[in-house]
Amino acid sequence: MVGASGAIGSALVDHLLSLGERPTPAGRNPEALAERWPGLPPARVDVLVPGTLVEPLAAVDVAYYLVHSMGAGAAFRARDREGATNFARAAASAGVRRIVYLGGLGRDDDDLSAHLSSRHETGRILAEHGPEVVELRAGIVIGARSASFRMLHDLVRRLPVMIVPRWVDTRTQPIAIADVVRYLSAARHVATSEHHTIVEVGGPDVLTFREMMLTLARKEGRRPLILGVPVLTPRLSAMWCGLTTSVSVDVARPLVLGMRNETVVRDERAATLFPQIRPMSFDQAIERALAGA
């Protein structure tokens, strides 16, 4: 599992352990992974260095691809492209049966932000060069360590007045990190008939970013004033979020630019393929995140 050190990857490792599985966490810093999970031998993997992928994938049936280069500045898209190509080719060569990948919601025919477009491109590259792919597409993930949630939470806590661009009224379909993990876990075994299966996942609530921030504020006992104006560009707003929240500018920029695109589930494939999973509400997800989950 590459990307095991991230918020979703680490939650997935914990979940698989709770099921009695023994996943192999992989990343550029195996020492930190070994400290986090002393009973699991980690693998040193860098998707930009093909030679590091050969041995870890040799005995793998299902590989999780949970990496992205969002914090790499302007070069993130090229790095994502290169990493996905390297990983897919290595997985195919090693005889991996399936890659499970977490991408982002958004219509392909929309004018997608660079971040969302790269997420979709990564899924296509994995399927083009590798074994079969199950690509889960999610919108904003609600969890204590999620960058999107941390950014919204910091804005609500620190600023009594927020002047934001029009993306504040863009609709999205947030999902709890626990539910994302359940989908990722179940995707190992789900029966598919396509080489590249795309499944859109989300919670039961479709909300604007304004509504999410106001809900979060109420739970924190706050009443911020949120002003959406047409003259503040998303690019300037991204820099402002990077400077006023715990999320770095390099991470805040693609997140905010992606907020101009509506990210909602448009089909029922998730309910068909994963009928046992019923995602929790936004209120429940927020309460869990505020409690540290």
Q: pLDDT tens digits, residue range 77-88?
A: 889 999 999 999
Contact 103, 136 (CB under 8 A): yes
Collapsed DSSP state (helix, strand, coil) of residue 34: helix
Query: Which CA distances in Å does 165 have to 68, 112, 160, 227, 242?
Result: 26, 17, 17, 8, 15
Q: Which residues pair with 176 in a beta bridge?
A: 142
Name the residue range of residue 123's domain: 7-290
DSSP 150-203: HHHHHHHHH-SEEEE-GGGG-EE--EEHHHHHHHHHHTTT---SSSEEEEE---
- Would 219 be classed as within a structural domain? yes
Q: What is the pTM of this model?
A: 0.90
- Would 127 be classed as within a structural domain? yes
Tell me how far the alpha carbon of residue 138 is from its chain's centroid.
Answer: 7
Question: 101-118, pLDDT tens digit by residue?
Answer: 999 999 988 888 888 999
Distance between CA atoms of 12 and 24, rounded to whole angstroms? 11
Count of domains forming the chain: 1
- Backbone angles phi and psi of 98, in degrees to 5: -150, 145
Per-residue pLDDT band at 263 (split at 50, 70, 90): very high
Contact 67, 47 (CB under 8 A): yes
**pLDDT surpassing 90 at residue 284:** yes
CATH code at 59?
Answer: 3.40.50.720
